[in-house]
Amino acid sequence: MNAADDLPPLRDVIRRHGLAAKKSLGQNFLLDLNLTGRIARAAGPLDGVTVIEIGPGPGGLTRALLAEGAKRVIAVERDNRALAALTEIEERYPNRLTIVPGDALDFDPELSVDDRPVRVVANLPYNIATALLVSWLTAEPWPPWYDRLVLMFQREVAERIVAAPGGKSYGRLSVLASWRTQARILFDVHPSNFVPPPKVTSSLVELVPRPAPLACERRLLERVTEAAFGQRRKMLRQSLRTLRTDPLPLLAAAGIEPTARAEDIPVAGFVALARALEAAAG
Ligand code: SAM
């Protein structure tokens, strides 16, 4: 039994339901309910909040989110083996857990949740973590349907998300994340906390949507960063040629030196370039 919710320990749940971790599903389970409680509190307070959890697995984080007072948890899980274990949690918290079997990449939260606020809290499967994050960061309209994302990533990815200009980690993902949100690393989680332990340290990242990001067309911003970071060692006057328009007037309009490199340009510079590209297209 566990003090927080009188459900059985997660090791027992895994044994009873035959939930041996599958690498192909990015399964690294958190079995320490003190740690899942810490993650849920870091995403809180949860009173009145509808939480979307991607990949609940045996339900360690799900249980913590419910014990910490989430109004409702909508849990999207691709592994059918986990559904019976999740149903036991649903029975312990009647009407507060909705289990959605299937692929999170096909799940449209906007269609599934009419309540607000909505928050995404997840120990993500690493193989689709970046794709999911990009889909949430490119939500339209903006501000998005969620009030916060609290997500576990491999530390190297977390560092790319929160990176400031001037270093190796700064890239397309940093620009997109920082354009639309305020992102920060909350804390690191050592591999030994997972079963099986992954090769690398993980980090919990919080992203809070900016109510009014610098105005520009998102797709043009993405085109500019794709071109600039596609050849990140080159000067922008060279790398931006892939935009198929003369980079020099764009750089002049954006007030950026033609000899500058992508990793030194702050978000405001990329936004200025996207606006210049829009103006150039007429
Ligand atoms: N939340 C659990 C925990 O913290 O112990 C499990 C986290 S584990 C890193 C990732 C979970 O995502 C697994 O349960 C896995 O089956 C699930 N998963 C993998 N790919 C998925 C997908 N495409 N859609 C939904 N869930 C997926």
The pLDDT profile of the chain, 282 residues, written as one tens digit per residue, is 455 788 999 999 999 999 999 999 999 999 999 999 999 999 989 999 999 999 999 999 999 999 999 999 999 999 999 999 999 999 999 999 999 999 999 999 887 788 899 999 999 999 999 999 999 999 999 999 999 999 999 999 999 999 999 999 999 999 999 999 999 999 999 999 999 999 999 999 999 999 999 999 999 999 999 999 999 999 999 999 999 899 999 999 999 999 999 999 999 999 999 999 999 887
Give the fold, CATH level 3, of 10-209: Rossmann fold (3.40.50)
pTM value surpassing 0.85: yes
Q: Answer yes or no: is the C-beta of 105 below 6 A from any ligand 1 atom.
A: yes
Closest residue (by CA) to atom 1 of ligand 1? 56
Name the helix (H) or strand (E) containing 24.
none
Asked whether 59 lines ligand 1 (CB < 6 A), one says no
Asked whether 60 lines ligand 1 (CB < 6 A), one says yes
CATH of domain 218-281: 1.10.8.100
- For residue 27, the CA-to-ligand 1 centroid distance in Å is 6
Q: Whose Cα sits closest to atom 14 in ligand 1?
A: 57
CATH 1.10.8.100: which residues of the chain? Answer: 218-281
Check if 125 has its Cβ closer than 6 Å to any atom of ligand 1: yes
Residues of the chain with CATH 3.40.50.150: 10-209
Burial of 168 (0-12, 13-18, 19+ CB in 10 A): exposed
Furthest C-alpha separation in the chain: 67
pLDDT attached to residue 1: 47
Contact 64, 4 (CB under 8 A): yes
Q: Ligand 1 mean position to 104 CA, how many Å?
A: 9
